[in-house]
A and B are shown apart, each in its own frame.
Chain A
Amino acid sequence: MTNPPTQHRAQKKLRNNMQEGTILAITTVSHPPAGFNKAPRNIALIKLNNGTRVLGCLTTMDSAAIGKTVRPRMQLQRVMETGLRIYDVSYEPVLMKEVKQESLDHVFPGYIIALSGPSGVGKSTVSSLLVRTASEYVERVPIITTRKGMQGDNEEYIHVTNTEFKEMCDRGEVVACTNIPDRNVQRQYGYKAKDIESIWTKGKIPVVVTEEHLLQGLSDHFGRRSLLSFGLLPPGESKRAMLSQLLHRLRKRNRDTKESIEDRIKNAEKDIDCLRERNDLFDHILVNEHLESVIDTLVGHVMNTAKTK
């Protein structure tokens, strides 16, 4: 049984393993040794891009094979008797189609910027401003939705019927979808893989506005490492203060009915909780107090990505 000091030394080396690699050999160990979860473990010998070879767990065997590319992600491996929680780098097979190198001369291939946060926090405003400020590098991905169009909607939405939405899902075109119910109707939202991939082929970074399920769906389809995920929060010391700030903003923008605002606030509470509970889905949490500073931060990330490429 690996002891805590051994684990500590191994953890110190983890950073070196946080990079893409290629599977050299692969197996599923049906009976893991004592101290590990009893579920079969998918283990691969991986040649990382820096030339070193490592042994690591695969998050899934779907599309895993010798020669396939994998990307790293941190995953809880086991909880030791002492209560020590051991995280290790796991590798997930890259599912998406690789974008042609020549079409991507200034961005990291397969990168998506995701903006999440409670209703009214300013996701749409931020994404519009980001796209306007860095139009050379980023483009907004249209949201497919079954909800009716309303005043204030811009080109970000593509309105479809419930049947059309279901058909798109059945054909596997929608990679991430969620249902955000109103008190009267079910409202579906989703993103199409084709829309995201077509932005990559233009050499740009797609920007998506998400919540927990959409983010999870995108992460499942393209891999967590392909998301640069930002959580946006309203200013406020406590949840109550944040919600009051949101209520104020929703009333001020004068787009929703009183009932709709109540629904949105209910959903917003869940969204704020999600930012805390699902912190694995977020790379950065930004407080949207000064819009300019949020945009500056985002543009900074975009420019960094463009430079490192």
Chain B
Amino acid sequence: MVSTCTVKLNKLFIMEKAIYIAGTGMTPFGEWWDKSIRELMDEAVEKALESAECNALDIDTIIVANMLAESTSNQAHLGPLAANLLPHAPPALRVESACASGAIAMHTACGLLESGRSETILVIGVEKMTDIAPSDISTALMGAADAEKDAPCGLTFPGIFGLVASSYMNEYGLTREDLSLVSSRHHANAAKNPYAQFRNQVTPENVTNSTKVADPLRMLDCSPISDGAAACILSTKFASSFRLAASQIATDSVSITDRASLTSFPATKDAMSKALKEAEIERDEINHIEIHDCFSIAAVINVEDLGFAEAGKGINAYKKENSSLTINASGGLKACGHPVGATGVKQIIDSVKQLHTSKKQFALTQNFGGACASCAIHIIEQV
């Protein structure tokens, strides 16, 4: 059934306790052939604990965000694997929601903290993607799409976003040259980020002339295959200068064949409107956004769905810089890398860094899974 209704009748749940970001740590993203999934998690956890006021024994729950460990590392059961990185092996669980696993793990943690079942939770996002052949990773990632409606024709995720891009270009007249501005900007931003996988500058011409992957998308429109881990300690007990002002999730149909339109993602709009209400702020109070640019066209659509541009005008955000709103100052998924389970956690860590440097109050992260079949939005406040 094609969904034609974008207004969801979900009840709005508001954060009932102050949840602080008590510690953060991550590995640089890249190709880490000599590090296992356990070692990547260990490195991120150690850095998160170092940065926190609390110690390892204060962690009462661990949530691991991961999508592909069974396919890429023959390793399931990541909860206990992570728990045993700490001396007291606390209770642990795993959350999977494709590329949104990281942010949805954060959302899960919020629920446990608000209910009082936990006081300090360690959220770890991790993915080890470079151990298997690119064609196999491509097949594994298609698990985020509909196996019976999308995959049988031989579609890949770049293919899905190639369809999205062709539809968007046809509807709004976006040119190939304009689309190239997105990756170019993200690469320029990543040049300053020591944790980014690619810190090289890329010109719009480089993007336009790179190899075709899924017409009209080129190689430099696509986020890379990466290894990496990011860890975040959330606590209602240990206060810090940063808190989660909103944590909202929304869903849409998994298959793009069930969507009324390919040029907008209703789940983003839904989660965004709920997040603004939860944080009790206006959109223009937000100074930094980290958006899910798995493909350059997704960044353009996200800017529009988040309400920072009108439909069809998202590219304007990339045509000139806006000092009051930074977009993917970390380099985004394109240049930082996209170890899928880690990305949502990493976006929150980067937002904390950006608020810390700019001394501004609000930052926002948007992390989605599949073709935005699941979406999580977090608003981070500097208090």
- Distance between Cα atoms of A187 and B155 in the complex (Å): 46
Q: Give the segment of A21-29, A122-130, A245-253, A263-271 that binds chain B.
A: A21-29
- Distance between Cα atoms of A29 and B159 in the complex (Å): 6
**Cβ contact within 8 Å between A26 and B163:** yes
Q: Which residues of B31-47 have CB atoms within 8 Å of chain A's CB atoms?
A: none
**Cβ contact within 8 Å between A30 and B214:** yes
- Distance between Cα atoms of A56 and B154 in the complex (Å): 9
CB distance from B210 to the nearest CB of A (A): 12
Q: Which residues of B72-99 have CB atoms within 8 Å of chain A's CB atoms?
A: none
**Cβ contact within 8 Å between B136 and A34:** yes
Residues of A within 8 A of B281 (CB): none
Kindly identify which residue among A28, A51, A57 contacts B153, using a CB–CB cutoff of 8 Å: A57
A25-B164 contact given A30-B214, A41-B153, CB 8 Å threshold: yes
Residue of B nearest to A61 (CB): B215
**Cβ contact within 8 Å between A66 and B170:** yes
A6-B156 contact given A25-B262, A31-B135, CB 8 Å threshold: no
Residues of B within 8 A of A241 (CB): none
Residue of B nearest to A55 (CB): B153
Residues of B within 8 A of A88 (CB): 152-153
- Distance between Cα atoms of A52 and B2 in the complex (Å): 7
- Distance between Cα atoms of A24 and B153 in the complex (Å): 16
- Number of A residues near B (Cβ < 8 Å) is 34
> How many A-B contacts if CB must be within 8 Å?
111
Residues of A within 8 A of B138 (CB): 31, 33-34
Q: Which residues of A8-53 have CB atoms within 8 Å of chain B's CB atoms?
A: 9-10, 24-36, 41, 43-45, 51-53
Kindly identify which residue among B158, B213, B216, B262 contacts A45, using a CB–CB cutoff of 8 Å: B262
Residues of A within 8 A of B213 (CB): 29-31
A55-B142 contact given A28-B212, A29-B156, CB 8 Å threshold: no
- Distance between Cα atoms of A36 and B155 in the complex (Å): 10
- Distance between Cα atoms of A222 and B281 in the complex (Å): 60
Q: Which residues of A222-263 have CB atoms within 8 Å of chain B's CB atoms?
A: none
Residue of A nearest to B142 (CB): A33
**Cβ contact within 8 Å between A31 and B136:** no
- Distance between Cα atoms of A45 and B210 in the complex (Å): 25
Task: Give the interface of B toward A (CB within 8 A).
Answer: 2, 133-136, 138-139, 142, 147-156, 158-159, 162-167, 170, 211-217, 256-259, 262
A-B contact pairs, 5 of them (CB 8 A): A10-B148, A28-B214, A29-B155, A31-B138, A33-B151
The 7 closest A-B pairs by CB, nearest first: A27-B162, A25-B163, A25-B167, A29-B159, A34-B135, A53-B257, A28-B215
10 more A-B residue pairs beyond the given contacts A26-B215, A27-B214, with a C-beta to C-beta distance below 8 A: A6-B147, A6-B152, A31-B134, A33-B138, A33-B154, A34-B138, A35-B139, A52-B2, A55-B150, A66-B170
